[in-house]
């Protein structure tokens, strides 16, 4: 595992990463209440989709109780190898943006951003590059195959990178991993949270 050596970081967080992997490879499940079985206990749920949650289904709940609450619940068997492969692809895409990437858990990683403003521009443009990397990973695009020679060429177009539905990933920028993680946890899909230098204390106090 890479140890983050950058003072400033962006936390990339894809909530319910394994469940989103299943949705991506099985688009026919769209709009249905989903529950992913626990790898170590198939009688219990590991992750639960939003529609199932609205019916009262929760992670850790037994399958029988979950179906009682939501008869339309679709149960999915976990595929840990597939999730690891997808996460590895995400990390490779992030490495194409920054040489400093530290994975934490499935669906969450920190990207060191010190010095990237000289390559991409202001923090907003760095965020766009990271967003593009995430979407490239979702589409299976190998960004390393088309590395450009100039900074302007390497600034990606996030709209042309992928036309898949929005995955709901969150981005948070801050000084240190803790601040960036809190920022990502407060972000909304498509709306990164940037904690500017000197405002870390005020931001954390407001959470």
* Mean pLDDT across the chain: 85
pLDDT computed for residue 178 by the predictor = 94
pLDDT classification of 197: cutoffs 50, 70, 90: confident
User: Is 95 buried (19+), middle (13-18) or exposed (0-12) by CB count in 10 A?
Assistant: middle
Residue 96 φ/ψ, nearest 5 degrees: -70, -20
How far apart are the C-alpha atoms of 107 and 105, rounded to whole Å? Answer: 6
How far does CA 48 lie from the centroid of its chain? 17
2 has pLDDT over 60: no
Are the beta carbons of 204 and 179 closer than 8 angstroms? yes
pLDDT, one tens digit per residue, over 25-41 is 899 988 899 999 999 99
Please state the pTM of the whole predicted model: 0.80
Q: Is the pLDDT of residue 131 over 80?
A: yes
Instruction: Convert the pLDDT of each residue in 44-84 to its tens digit.
Output: 999 999 999 999 999 999 999 999 999 999 999 999 999 99
CA pair distance 44, 108, nearest whole angstrom: 24
Q: What percent of the chain has pLDDT over 70?
A: 84
C-alpha distance from residue 48 to each of 69, 105, 160 (Å): 13, 18, 31
Pairwise CA distance, residues 200 & 198, whole Å? 6
**What letter would DSSP give residue 110?**
E
Strand order in the sheet with 170-175: 101-105, 108-112, 8-13, 170-175, 193-194
**In this structure, are residues 1 and 108 in contact, taking their beta carbons and an 8 Å threshold?**
no
The two tokens of residue 22 are: 């299943």
pLDDT band at residue 166 under the 50/70/90 scheme: very low
Residue 128 structure tokens: 């766009």
pLDDT at 4: 64
pLDDT at 11: 95
The DSSP line for 137-160 is HHHT--GGGG--SSHHHHS--HHH
Residue 197: which residues within 8 A CB-CB, separation 6 or more?
175
């Amino acid at each position: 595992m890479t140890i983050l050596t950058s003072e400033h970081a962006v936390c990339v967080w894809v909530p319910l990463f394994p469940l989103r992997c299943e949705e991506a490879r099985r688009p026919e499940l769209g709009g249905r209440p989903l529950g992913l079985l626990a790898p170590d206990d198939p009688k219990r749920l590991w992750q639960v989709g939003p529609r199932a949650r609205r019916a009262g289904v929760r992670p850790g709940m037994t399958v029988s109780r979950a179906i009682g609450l939501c008869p339309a619940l679709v149960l999915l068997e976990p595929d840990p190898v597939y999730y690891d492969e997808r996460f590895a692809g995400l990390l490779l895409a992030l490495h194409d943006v920054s040489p400093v990437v530290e994975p934490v858990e499935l669906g969450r990683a920190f990207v060191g951003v010190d010095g990237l403003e000289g390559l991409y521009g202001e923090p907003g443009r760095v965020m766009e590059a990271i967003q593009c990397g995430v979407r490239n990973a979702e589409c299976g695009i190998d960004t390393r195959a088309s590395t450009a020679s100039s900074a302007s060429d390497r600034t990606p177009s996030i709209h042309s990178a992928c036309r898949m539905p929005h995955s709901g990933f969150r981005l948070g920028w801050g000084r240190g991993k803790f601040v960036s993680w809190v920022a990502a946890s407060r972000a909304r899909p498509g709306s990164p949270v940037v904690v500017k230098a000197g405002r870390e204390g005020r931001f954390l106090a407001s959470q």
